[in-house]
Amino acid sequence: MFVLIWLVSCVSRLHRSPTLLHLRHSRITHSLKSNQMASTFLSLPSVSPSAAQSVQDKCKDKMKSGNAFKSAFFGKDKQPLSMKTKSHGRITMAVAVKASRFDSITMAPPDPILGVSEAFKADTNELKLNLGVGAYRTEELQPYVLKVVRKAENLMLERGENKEYLPIEGLAAFNKATAELLFGADNPVLHEQRVATIQGLSGTGSLRIAAALIERYFPGAKILISSPTWGNHKNIFNDARVPWSEYRYYDPKTVGLDFDGMIEDIKAAPEGSFVLLHGCAHNPTGIDPTPQQWEKIADVIQEKNHFPFFDVAYQGFASGSLDEDASSVRLFAARGMELLVAQSYSKNLGLYAERVGAINVLCSSPDAAIRVKSQMKRIARPMYSNPPVHGARIVANVVGNPDFFNEWKDEMEMMAGRIKSVRQKLYNNLSSKDKTGKDWSFVLKQIGMFSFTGLNKAQSDNMTDKWHIYMTKDGRISLAGLSAAKCEYLADAIIDSYHNVS
Ligand SMILES: Cc1ncc(COP(=O)(O)O)c(C=O)c1O
């Protein structure tokens, strides 16, 4: 009540003031209900912003000094109200705002990967290039919808399929197709019904289900993740409260794999730890172990009774072959090991926004697989109830139709081929333009969507600030967002950043 009386007196003084003759309040609203944000605002349509501001300042001073302030601007629950001003063109409002119960919540930092796209959008320079997010672009740097996806969608539309809820575990035809793509349709582990598969919310959601399973049924078990790794892995395991530590992976001296370090760290981990492995096209480095190295990794994991946990986000996208890119997983499965595999169809089918993927748990018995599946469903139910149908139907239709399946493989080869060709062109430009004799051949040895340039944070900042090239601050660039026409420009930027910024 005090506040209302006080504001009305402020406004009536404005009316009487000879210097503010035109000033006229048009509206006063007042609400001081408990548990509701209390706001009192004046709308001053015909006064200059500066005049209105000075009146507000006087009012604010008065409020600060007066005893009435304390009682009027504290609610019953003693939460303080503060004065704020907002300007909307010629209208200036004084706003008394009760402190929010959310005041203790601080601003979250932008996401290190998705935040790059936001910054890119805000840049108006025509030379700008977004190499931050791992999403495929055409030579014209436009998003690409696979032709086979459009065909499958048209078929789905013709059939007039309904939008009923899926069961918690997802679309049965999708789950069958995805496990077959991963392990190979004739793999004994499938015939023996030892794989528990449920559809997940793409790669991220599938990893999250597995993390919850680990937290619930292997309390205290640690997961080893590569250093470096895809930025979201740590978030996922932190949120699921699964303790993690890192194993060495990247050797900055060779810009290659620190294989000895990796083996040493996996050996040193407590027995029965989970080991997160990128099935192919390691993100962010683009450096994969050789088949012989995979065998050794499997040896150590078996010796230490660890659990392999594969993240397969790029099957078919790394080499252009679905089978070749699944060979690491199949090698471990052939040894009779129990393992987990998260899959994503964001990249290989371009279904980024459909959120389609799966979590597969290979168990040593069909009975264990049934129980594990029931518990994964139990985890999924309170999280999101059941997964979306559209992307799952696309996958099931593409894989289930031999013509579509072959078309998909061709398109995947085309996408992987375009990335390989810009990789080669970037390397050619780097080695011909850099007169210092630096060896840039690591660019060619890396595989998949990304190149890990070895640029540090200051050098990566230079790429963005001076050259308008957007990338993650760990020095990763997505070659899927590069066109042949921009290779020379990118090479100039990398050479400048590498040699002129420390
Ligand atoms: C290694 C890795 N795992 C998982 C994902 C998950 O992606 P999504 O949730 O879009 O399927 C990504 C995406 O970039 C990735 O690079």
| Ligand 1 contact via 474 beta carbon (within 6 Å) | no
The residue whose C-alpha atom lies closest to atom 2 belonging to ligand 1 is 313
The residue whose C-alpha atom lies closest to atom 5 belonging to ligand 1 is 203
| Ligand 1 contact via 315 beta carbon (within 6 Å) | no
Q: In the prediction, which pLDDT does 62 show?
A: 42
SS3 state at 16:
helix
CB contact at 8 A, 411 and 148? yes
State how far the Cα of 150 lies from the Cα of 152, in Å rounded to an integer: 5
| Ligand 1 contact via 306 beta carbon (within 6 Å) | no
Tens digit of each residue's pLDDT, the chain (502 residues): 444 445 444 444 544 443 333 433 434 334 334 433 333 333 333 333 344 444 444 444 444 443 444 444 444 444 455 555 656 556 666 666 789 999 999 999 888 888 888 899 999 999 999 999 889 999 999 999 999 999 999 999 999 999 999 999 999 999 999 999 999 999 999 999 999 999 999 999 999 999 999 999 999 999 999 999 999 999 999 999 999 999 999 999 888 999 999 999 999 999 999 999 999 999 999 999 999 999 999 999 999 999 999 999 999 988 889 999 999 999 999 999 999 999 999 999 999 999 999 999 999 999 999 999 999 999 999 999 999 999 999 999 999 899 999 999 999 999 999 999 999 999 999 999 999 999 999 999 999 999 999 999 999 999 999 999 999 999 999 999 999 999 999 999 999 999 999 9
Instruction: Choose the residue to mutate in 345, 346, 451 for probing ligand 1, maximizing ligand atoms within 8 Å of C-beta.
Output: 346
User: Token pair of 196, please?
Assistant: 């528990």
SS3 state at 93:
strand
Q: In the prediction, which pLDDT does 366 show?
A: 98
pTM of this structure: 0.81
Q: In the prediction, which pLDDT does 16 show?
A: 46
| Ligand 1 contact via 175 beta carbon (within 6 Å) | no
Catalytic residue selected from 265, 311, 325, 474? 311
Q: In the prediction, which pLDDT does 92 show?
A: 62
Q: In the prediction, which pLDDT does 31 show?
A: 38
Catalytic residue selected from 98, 151, 230, 244? 230
Distance (Å) from CA 204 to ligand 1 centroid: 6
Q: Is 230 a catalytic residue?
A: yes
Q: In the prediction, which pLDDT does 113 show?
A: 81
Instruction: Choose the residue to mutate in 232, 285, 356 for probing ligand 1, maximizing ligand atoms within 8 Å of C-beta.
Output: 232
Sheet holding 223-227, edge to edge: 195-201, 356-362, 339-344, 307-312, 274-278, 223-227, 244-248
| Ligand 1 contact via 357 beta carbon (within 6 Å) | yes
**Nearest atom (ligand 1) to Cα of 311:** 3
| Ligand 1 contact via 311 beta carbon (within 6 Å) | yes
User: Token pair of 327, please?
Assistant: 């060979």
Q: Is 311 a catalytic residue?
A: yes
